[in-house]
Structure 1
């Protein structure tokens, strides 16, 4: 393998790890560490699940919003797999399948809400490494208690 081939493999591994860290830090409620995987501004598109329009936010606002939205659950578990990575210079795209399980012990309905679909992450190379500057979540299916997000937010 040539040096450029080794660099390409290293870039791909770094991109996958950066994308994985978003979900790891979220599930482990590591909100300050979550901020570190993002670029200075991040375009978020969760319209397939929530409607509305995509937004562009700084990392600390994202971490605060996710802390409020997900922090009320007893636990969450996000899996990211089947990564397809394309690196072009200092830009990268990683598309991957996800499975997101949200748990809240609840007397009103089941305790689980699960989603499946795809994420499309866009990243840019910075002096500190790869940073995510865009995320598009496409929910393909859901199962379980759809009322859990509202119940978790009320906690």
Structure 2
């Protein structure tokens, strides 16, 4: 592969990796405007797989249906923090796949529940968009959890009903 193509591929992989890390930070942020920026980073239709954690169905869903649920879930906790590392990106033209480690912390009061696992994303290039990409697929595959899982259950109970459940 010519040097110019290799350099462009390296830049694209770095751009996707930074996009994925920054996206998690935007989702956790309580700053005005950050949630809207987070929402816009997703394609109009996204395939979501959180079946291992949320017991939701794997399905393709409209962004405008998914985002109010996710926002209500984040807001159900005093703090969330998703630390994303070791992002590996595979490119195929104007599409990309990423795989990364993630550790997410959820706090209500002094109680904390944390889980760690693998994040997987599918992306498509979106020239002129924030970060240059849009997420078309997102999945979380847990490896461990620690702390009080009841914190997570309380958060779920205070969020909107999941549009990813059967019959939703």
Q: What is the TM-score when the length of structure 2 is the normalising length?
A: 0.82
Q: 2:92 aligns with which of 88, 94, 100?
A: 88
CA shift, 1:57, in A, is 2.0
Maintained 8 Å contact 2:43/2:63: yes
- The alpha-carbon deviation at position 147 of structure 1 amounts to 1.3
Distance (whole Å) between structure 1 residues aligned to residue 40 and residue 4 of structure 2: 28
1:138 aligns with 2:147: no
Runs of 4+ deviating beyond 6 Å: none
3-state DSSP of counterpart to 1:147: helix
| 1:75/1:104 contact within 8 Å kept | yes
Cα deviation code 1:7-39 (max 9, x no counterpart): 111111111122123211111043211112111
C-alpha distance in 1 between matches for 2:24 and 2:92: 24
C-alpha distance in structure 2 between counterparts of 1:52 and 1:33, whole Å: 25
Structure 2 counterparts to residues 8-47 of structure 1, below 5 A: 8-29=9-30, 30-47=34-51
- How far apart in 1 are the matches of 2:63 and 2:21? 16
Q: CA RMSD in A?
A: 1.8
3-state secondary structure, aligned to 1:49 = helix
> Is the contact between residue 34 and residue 63 of structure 1 (CA under 8 Å) also seen in structure 2?
no
Q: Is 2:122 the partner of 1:118?
A: no
C-alpha distance in 1 between matches for 2:80 and 2:56: 24
Alignment check: 8 A CA contact 1:69 1:149 kept: no
CA drift at 1:61: 2.8
Figure out how many residues of one structure are paired with residues of the other and give that number. Answer: 151
Structure 1 Cα separation of the partners of residues 21 and 65 of structure 2: 20
Structure 1 residue 54: Cα displacement: 0.8
CA distance in 1, matches of 2:26, 2:63: 13
2:28–2:79 Cα contact (<8 Å) kept: yes
Shift of 1:49: 0.9
Q: Which ranges of structure 2 fall in alignment gaps of 5 or more residues?
A: 160-168
Q: Which string of whole-angstrom CA distances, capped at 9 and with x for unpartnered residues, describes residues 83-122 of structure 1? A: 111101111110000100111115xxxx000000001111
TM-score (structure 1 length as normaliser): 0.89
For 2:97 and 2:28, how far apart are their aligned partners in 1?
23
